[in-house]
Amino acid sequence: MRNILQAPFMKEFCATAANMYRLGWDERNGGNISVMLDGGEVGKYLDPSRVIRTIPTGFDAKPLAGKIFLVTGTGKYFKNVARDPETNLGIIRIAADGTTAELLWGYKDGSRFTSELPAHLMSHMARREVDPSNRVVMHCHPTYTLAMNYVHPLDEKQFTHTLWEMCTECIVVFPDGIGVLPWMLCGTNEIGEATAEKMKEFRLVVWGMHGIYGVGKDLDEAFGLIETVEKAAQIYMLTAHLPRLNTIKDDELKTLAEAFGVNYRKDFLNL
């Protein structure tokens, strides 16, 4: 078997976690990531028949039975992921019953996956119905996006529209807009179900006064979505208290979206 720490998916995951910590998106043990791995690729580094232990998932994820995920651990700090992946990460396979995760590697201190795993798996299931190429669910607490929650209406159209106005690239990068949930108790199936419902329509979901969920076909796409939102939120927070002399008008947003050929939320513009 090859050294799993040298696997491209492992190195990319560790680099992404380190970058998210560096940017201040994942303080302490805040945030979590799950990546659906290719079973054939995993087989180059692990014996898939060797199950270290089983862990209840807390809900029925039968549509994902047999799928393998690389997932951050509960209570683990993003700043430690690259230094000690085997303690801070785990590779799990959803068992045939859908309610059990088979640990194939990691969590070597006896811990388990993030408490948000049900929310992640629910989002994976919802997004794969929309886009079968979706493999990544990423949750974090980006500073300016979170700050914006306290001074801006938590309305999907208004929140999206404001961010679209902040940077020319925004309507091109997330033309489908941003879903918004009110404050809810984290780590529960209820917030997971609400997030998954939003994921049928959006690739980004704000958890009110908490953080954001982003999804994508790979780590770069999910990271880039959140990064773009955070940049726009930063510009908003830096300018919201000042008189606005200029803005990107709705007809200009329409022209921009159509020039780039993206399927944007027309109902989020005021035309």
For residues 260 and 109, give the distance between their C-alpha atoms in angstroms, rounded to a whole number. Answer: 49
Phi then psi for residue 153, to 5 deg, are -55, 135
For residues 151 and 157, give the distance between their C-alpha atoms in angstroms, rounded to a whole number. Answer: 15
Using DSSP, state whether 135 is helix, strand or coil. Answer: coil
> Which residues make beta-bridge pairs with 70?
35, 91
Three-point CA angle 112, 115, 134, nearest 5°: 95
**Amino acid symbol at 55:** I
Report which secondary-structure segment, H or E, holds 47.
none
Report which secondary-structure segment, H or E, holds 176.
none
For the beta carbon of residue 121, count every other beta carbon within 10 angstroms. Answer: 29
- Our answer to whether residue 116 is catalytic in this structure is yes
For residues 29 and 198, give the distance between their C-alpha atoms in angstroms, rounded to a whole number. Answer: 25
In 3D, which of 185, 231, 176 has the Cα closest to residue 205?
A: 176
- Assess contact for 246 and 166: CB atoms under 8 A: no
Exactly one of 102, 116, 165, 221 is catalytic; name it.
116
Using DSSP, state whether 131 is helix, strand or coil. Answer: coil
Active site residue ranges: 116
